[in-house]
Structure 1
Amino acid sequence: MYRHVHTGDFEAQEPLLTGKYPEPGERDSDEGEIIFDRSMSKIPCDAGGNAKRRLTYEEAVEEAGFGSFHWLLLLACGWANASDAVEILCVSFLLPTARCDLLLSSSDMGLLTASIFLGMMVGGYMWGYLADQRGRRRVLVVSLTVNGVFGGLASVAPKFWLFLLLRFVSGIGVGGSIPVIFSYFSEFMPRLRRGAMISALATFWMAGNILAAGLAWLVIPRTWAHFSVGRLDFQSWRLFVVLCSIPSLTSALLFRLLMPESPKFLMEAGREKEAIGVFHVMFKLNMWGKGKSFPEFGLCTSSKQRGEPEESRTCGSRTERLACVFKKALLPVKQMFNGPLKSRSIALLIVFYCISFGYYGLWMWFPALFERMESGGGGSPCANTSVLSPLLNQSCYPVKTAVYMEGFIIAASNLPGNIFTILMIDRLGGKTLLSCSLLVSSLSVFLIYVVQTKVQSLAVSCVFSGVSVITWNALDVLGTELYPTQLRSSALGFFTGVGRVAAITGNVAFGRLVDTNCAVPVLLVSALLLTGGLVALVLPQSRQTELT
């Protein structure tokens, strides 16, 4: 961990064990592997005869201090993260009632839950690449707006196909904001606080989960929200969809009006004055009322401006230009799977697939599975074959409020996992938490299959929820620390895209099999989580690593 040397001094943090920061390119003490090659950053740091001292990114972040700015940033980014959770998970809560109004079979419900993940798969890498080229803040504003606008429009879709299409477009927006939020947030954080603060940011996913479950519990069972507009029968679940779009729209407005661009991105783009301006804002808020003046310094920035279409200018026809753009867009993926990044990229690809198939495949179907238990009088949703009747044969009204209460309890069970991650991520490291939590998640999912009572099933589901959130938090930290700035958002976008493919296949598998033999997808989830936990052991440890 770390200690403070001179309380209140913004330069006064040093590692407790070594008393110094590791040099660039230093080997990780746990793995004996070079985490980064500093040459990839391409940032010269030569004063060039200028008397003004020049600082690296990590040194400038330390100069700016830690305080009010970072807590405000946590709230802003946290609200954006929560809005994504609300938009994704709202579908699972509206399924028990929307299936009647839209005449959905279990296979249709699988397609509906998969639609937003298909959009996220399309948007994830695209937005991540644009964030690495054009800036994090701009991409966040646009993607959050797309998410909120099309998510809200879905509430008035009269037909299933239109609802499906609008949810897909909303997913494109969600796919951009999730990876970019963590890249953006991490690039403001001092190295020694980064792991805990990213874990704190990840807890807002739980807040969004609880918000979605609470809104569903309060709104969907209410009959007063039912009225007709022309041929549209506006049921309470449609009002729920409208309310779920508000967090994304307000978050986009917040970033548009108040938040600065990432200083790390600005430094990589060679925009020194703008980066210093951001550090000045950070310093001013962090040192409010302390009577300190902003220190004069220059920055070690890249000499190459981003966004220069050099490759496009060398291409002649429109087809050749498109080919050049496509080739350039895929360059980050090529860099991820070559050289020193190859082994960790392959491992993360497998881990993302396993956890996404398991988490989203199971989580999106929890309300439907609990409704089956309600209709069958209790018991395991898979072990008790009497409750495996198709949902179309079950009544939607009156709404069973217990379904939403149980969803709320499962969402709240994330809290212990989030607290544990915040306290232990810097002590144990992301790799250890990732592997252990995946293995425990695998066991808990297997127990969902074998339990025999409703109370037991709810308890095991809460354990799965609380432990799996540790996995996601650890992945958020590892994903930001294992890749350099020019690849960070692209890498996170790529891996979240892979995760969306897994989420789609998981939801389609549940939709196809839940009426006939739900034991198959449940046991498959358990096996995949076990595989992910074992593969995570090959990842490098990245505890308190410098960002490059």
Structure 2
Amino acid sequence: MSESRESRESETKLPKIPEQQEDAAAAGAADFETAIDSAGFGMFNILLLVAAVPAAMGTVYETSTMSYILPSAECDLKLSLLDKGILNAITYAGMISSAVMWGYLADTKGRRNLLIHEWSLRRANGLFDGTTWTAASSAHHDGGGHYVSIATLTLPGLAMLILPQTWSLHIWTLSLTSWQIFVAITALPSLLSFVLFFFFPESPKFLMSKGRNQEAMDAFKFIYHLNSRKPKDSFPVYKMLANEVIVPVKKHKEGKSVPTEIKLPIESAEAQDPESQDSKKSSLRSGFTQLRPLFTKPYLGLSLWVYLLNFCVLLGQNTMRLWLPQLFASINEYELLMDGKSESTSICSILEYSVNRTQNQLEAATRNDPDVECHVNITASTYTNNLIVAGAGFVAYMLAGFLVNLVGVKRIMTMGLFIAGCCSIMMYWSNSAISTVAIASLFVTMGSISATSVISASVNLFPTSLRTMIVSLEMMFGRLGSLLGNIFFPALMGLGCVPPFLMISSFMLAGCLMAAFLPLKNKAALK
């Protein structure tokens, strides 16, 4: 009985593809590429790019804002060095725990709906950050890196303007200091994105993949209307859209199941009801099916190699990047304290001073000692060095494509990681603010190019069908490295000057060694 039932279900899921294609062609059906080309390029695309700017800013601010407020909030929140490390790392914990969930929801619920809900709640914690570029990449992905680089420049600029102020804003019973106002302002891009996404339709590609062709047609007409300034009814693809629903079907032979893909007829109830329980289960099974090849031969060893490589690279890159505001704040405070009494600003002297001062103030606050007042000296110059480092990173990103195409992704990745590893250990011998800024700028520049190159390299190592999943898992391991690095760094600071920078250097050099043995051709270009 069950066999006959399966056979009947198979018959309903096995349309005659040639006949279906002939019918579609006769009816003038257009596939996605034809329809999107007919919609043209114009005002809609420009507005979408504009909406992507606050989205990119929100993404950068989510992971970096905390590192800028820690020096200012130290007294108000009674923060130890380890507390600061945990606050830097907590966003990455949210990203890791939700990585798979957001990918699944983006594929089942749609990009637009997910972006709206995610942006409206993202300031709660890092849980909502994992979906940002997963969903937004369906639109315009080419400018994403440029937007992120620009957003990275604006954050230290905002910090210079706001954090040194002695504001105390009273709203009813709530009293806000300058660092709390700074956090509120950095939330505005997310709020703006939340509003803007309401005015955009769902991705027509997603709608067509779910069999919701009428909604997709409405989206195409809306895009066409904005781009051409012509009535929606004059959209060239006026008859129908081709069926682009693809579902897995199993062929039974000798007791074995072989996954294949076919296109369902557009009248199918399953295609028209993507929210059905069967469709959700099918999508979830499809997700696990995509994971399986990465944990079996021949891709198991290579995928683990790539995960570990990105773990090492992002551990070093994001640990140094997120601790630079605290480091520069300590340098500025130390220089003001010395007031020319010390000939050099040794990084070891600064770290020792910072660790001891933080510990003493924390102990005094615990004892409620009235003789010890917690105070931090924050000026605009505190964040000038961060602006310089961000500027160096921006210039590096502009040159990254040219450099990679010139020398090859493998060479630039290997050299970048080697230089970054050397820069980290060179911090030990830095004896002035200028040399520290120069070394930090070179580290962030090389680390940024290397981190981007790792993603590009890994994409070229796997077949197209596995690339989305490999990048998702690779980023998850990279974020795990970022989390652990930001927790271990302050713990090692208590042991002395060398251990924290040695940790970063070790992981970057380990990444350099792993990158050198990647089975990748040097001519592979950065995409």
Residue 186 of structure 2 corresponds to: 244
Counterpart amino acid of residue 140 in structure 2 = F
Contact 1:117 1:171 in 2 (8 A): yes
Higher relative contact order (CA 8 A, sep 6+): 1
Q: CA deviation at 1:211?
A: 2.4
Q: Distance in 2 between matches of 1:354 and 1:528?
A: 5
Residue 538 of structure 1 corresponds to: 519
Q: Distance in 2 between matches of 1:456 and 1:93?
A: 21
Q: Distance in 1 between matches of 2:140 and 2:50?
A: 11
Counterpart selection for 2:388 from 398, 402, 409: 409
Contact 1:373 1:454 in 2 (8 A): yes
Q: CA deviation at 1:508?
A: 0.5
Contact 1:375 1:387 in 2 (8 A): no
Classify 1:500/1:209 alpha carbon distance in 2 versus 1 (closer, same or farther; 3 Å).
same
Question: After the TM superposition, which of the residue ranges 106-115 and 299-308 deviates more from structure 2?
Answer: 299-308
Residue 47 of structure 1 corresponds to: 21
Q: Distance in 2 between matches of 1:358 and 1:483?
A: 25
| TM-score, length of structure 1 as denominator length | 0.71
Residue 164 of structure 2 corresponds to: 221
Three-state SS of the structure 1 residue aligned to 2:131 is helix
Counterpart amino acid of residue 412 in structure 1 = G
Q: Distance in 2 between matches of 1:426 and 1:514?
A: 39
Contact 1:136 1:184 in 2 (8 A): no
Q: CA RMSD in A?
A: 3.9
Within the alignment, does 1:370 sit opposite 2:370 as a pair?
no
| TM-score, length of structure 2 as denominator length | 0.74
Counterpart selection for 1:453 from 432, 457, 473: 432
Residue 310 of structure 1 corresponds to: 278
Q: Distance in 1 between matches of 2:228 and 2:520?
A: 38
Residue 8 of structure 1 corresponds to: none
Residue 341 of structure 2 corresponds to: none
Counterpart amino acid of residue 320 in structure 2 = L
Residue 265 of structure 1 corresponds to: 206
Q: Distance in 2 between matches of 1:462 and 1:351?
A: 22
Contact 2:71 2:376 in 1 (8 A): no
Q: CA deviation at 1:459?
A: 1.2
Three-state SS of the structure 1 residue aligned to 2:168 is coil
Q: Distance in 1 between matches of 2:72 and 2:328?
A: 13
Classify 1:253/1:478 alpha carbon distance in 2 versus 1 (closer, same or farther; 3 Å).
farther
Three-state SS of the structure 2 residue aligned to 1:538 is coil
Counterpart amino acid of residue 345 in structure 1 = S
Counterpart amino acid of residue 390 in structure 1 = N
Q: Distance in 1 between matches of 2:32 and 2:305?
A: 29
Within the alignment, does 1:201 sit opposite 2:156 as a pair?
no
Decide which structure has the larger Cα Rg and report it: 2
Within the alignment, does 1:496 sit opposite 2:475 as a pair?
yes
**CA distances 1:103-141 after superposition (whole Å, capped 9, x unpaired):** 111111111111121112112221122112222222222
Counterpart amino acid of residue 356 in structure 2 = P
Classify 1:528/1:260 alpha carbon distance in 2 versus 1 (closer, same or farther; 3 Å).
farther
Three-state SS of the structure 2 residue aligned to 1:234 is strand
Counterpart amino acid of residue 209 in structure 1 = T
Residue 234 of structure 1 corresponds to: 176
Q: Distance in 2 between matches of 1:461 and 1:406?
A: 9
Within the alignment, does 1:181 sit opposite 2:162 as a pair?
no
Within the alignment, does 1:211 sit opposite 2:154 as a pair?
yes
Three-state SS of the structure 2 residue aligned to 1:47 is helix
Q: Distance in 2 between matches of 1:438 and 1:417?
A: 14
Q: Distance in 1 between matches of 2:44 and 2:310?
A: 32
Contact 1:266 1:275 in 2 (8 A): yes
Counterpart amino acid of residue 498 in structure 1 = F
Counterpart amino acid of residue 248 in structure 1 = S
* Structure 2 unaligned residues grouped into runs of 5+: 1-16, 248-270, 336-343, 362-373
Q: CA deviation at 1:415?
A: 1.7
Within the alignment, does 1:361 sit opposite 2:319 as a pair?
yes
Q: Distance in 1 between matches of 2:473 and 2:27?
A: 40
Percent of aligned positions that are identical: 26
Three-state SS of the structure 1 residue aligned to 2:140 is helix
Residue 118 of structure 2 corresponds to: 143
Counterpart amino acid of residue 206 in structure 1 = S
Classify 1:358/1:184 alpha carbon distance in 2 versus 1 (closer, same or farther; 3 Å).
farther
Q: CA deviation at 1:539?
A: 5.2
Counterpart selection for 1:463 from 423, 431, 442: 442
Contact 2:63 2:91 in 1 (8 A): yes
**CA distances 1:430-478 after superposition (whole Å, capped 9, x unpaired):** 6665455434433333333333321011012122233333344445666
Q: CA deviation at 1:239?
A: 1.0
Within the alignment, does 1:379 sit opposite 2:320 as a pair?
no
Residue 88 of structure 2 corresponds to: 113
Q: Distance in 2 between matches of 1:70 and 1:432?
A: 36
Counterpart amino acid of residue 489 in structure 2 = F
Q: CA deviation at 1:234?
A: 2.9
Residue 355 of structure 2 corresponds to: 389
Q: CA deviation at 1:535?
A: 3.6
Q: CA deviation at 1:504?
A: 1.2
* Structure 1 unaligned residues grouped into runs of 5+: 1-43, 151-169, 187-196, 314-323
Three-state SS of the structure 2 residue aligned to 1:413 is helix
Counterpart amino acid of residue 494 in structure 2 = D
Classify 1:519/1:259 alpha carbon distance in 2 versus 1 (closer, same or farther; 3 Å).
farther
**CA distances 1:258-312 after superposition (whole Å, capped 9, x unpaired):** 22333433343333444455455555555569xx963568446124445543388
Counterpart amino acid of residue 294 in structure 1 = P
Q: Distance in 2 between matches of 1:381 and 1:272?
A: 62
Question: After the TM superposition, which of the residue ranges 412-421 and 277-286 deviates more from structure 2?
Answer: 277-286
How many residues align? The count is 459
